[in-house]
Amino acid sequence: MPSPFPGMDPYLEDEGLWAAFHHHLVMCLYQILLPGLVDRYRARVCQRHYDAGDHTEHYEDYVEIRQRSDDRLVTLLDIVSPANKTTPAGREAYLATRRCAGAAGVNLVEIDLVLQGQPMLEYSRDGLPDWDYAVTVSRATQPERYEIYTATLQKRLPRFRLPLANDDRDTVVDLQTAFTRCYDQAGFAGRIDYRWEPPVSPKEGARRRLDEVLRANKLGGMPGQVSAGCVDPPHEAIALAAYYLWLAEGRPHGRDREHWLRALEQLRGPAGAR
């Protein structure tokens, strides 16, 4: 069974799913890249490790592409995680990997498939179209310039040009192909319950697009859905109540789904409890 979303599936941001998804997506990208690199380069999967302050150990895979002749790092391909965008420790761990590679004068490729939290890269978005997901490429020859490939929740993930050595041509990577292979091979369709709200609270534009996809597929427990003789409170009210629960418990990481469900039950009251 395919994902109901044309591209990235936001339900994969769930704390219980992301680590497996992140690992499988990196491995699928590695497998897709490998045939085109064997003559001049070698690719390897590396891993950073840190505690994000929630007493949970985080392990995040990324890909290094090195020249076979001298083992010089040429390109770093990294995937942003929810912890990178929502926790100080996660953000610093990700940026430290990027800074170290950038100092060595390599190409940097960031894949951001996370709706929640703050962007990892700071650059002007003036005049750019609204997007939910992005691949950002920074070339060693022009490190201050970004090439941005974008997608929304309603569209497939983009193809992008992955740079190699300065005297070599780029290789084109189809991110949607990698995602679909990852989703199918890891059996995520059977691990996601689409009857619930997704484990993210995106901004207004993304929320509207998310609602449209869920409504089109009759999924998601959307606002106003009649269930067990009651009508769910508006999405904004649930989000606000969940936010206050999060604040009251010291702003913990990775408990979005729990806070959402508790807020929903509180707002329904005893008469609406399941």
The domain boundary, picked from 185, 208, 238, lies at 185
pLDDT digit string, tens, across residues 220-251: 764 433 333 344 566 667 777 777 787 778 77
Same structural domain for residues 143 and 27?
yes
H or E segment at 92? helix 88-103
Same structural domain for residues 150 and 223?
no
DSSP output for 238-254:
HHHHHHHHHHHTT--SS
Most distant pair of Cα atoms in the chain: their distance? 70
Residue 4: inside a domain, yes or no? no
pLDDT of residue 227: 34
Residue 39: inside a domain, yes or no? yes
The label of the residue with tokens 């310039």 reads: 145
The domain boundary, picked from 134, 158, 185, lies at 185
Q: What is the mean pLDDT of the chain?
A: 87
Same structural domain for residues 118 and 218?
no
Q: Is the pLDDT of residue 269 over 80?
A: no
Same structural domain for residues 154 and 218?
no
pLDDT digit string, tens, across residues 66-113: 999 999 999 999 999 999 999 999 999 999 999 999 999 999 999 999
Residue 3: inside a domain, yes or no? no
Residue 271 token pair: 């008469």
The domain boundary, picked from 150, 185, 220, lies at 185
Q: Is the pLDDT of residue 142 over 90?
A: yes
pLDDT of residue 139: 97
Is the CA virtual torsion 253, 254, 258, 263 positive or negative? Answer: positive
Same structural domain for residues 137 and 15?
yes
Same structural domain for residues 180 and 198?
no
| Full domain range(s) for residue 67 | 10-185
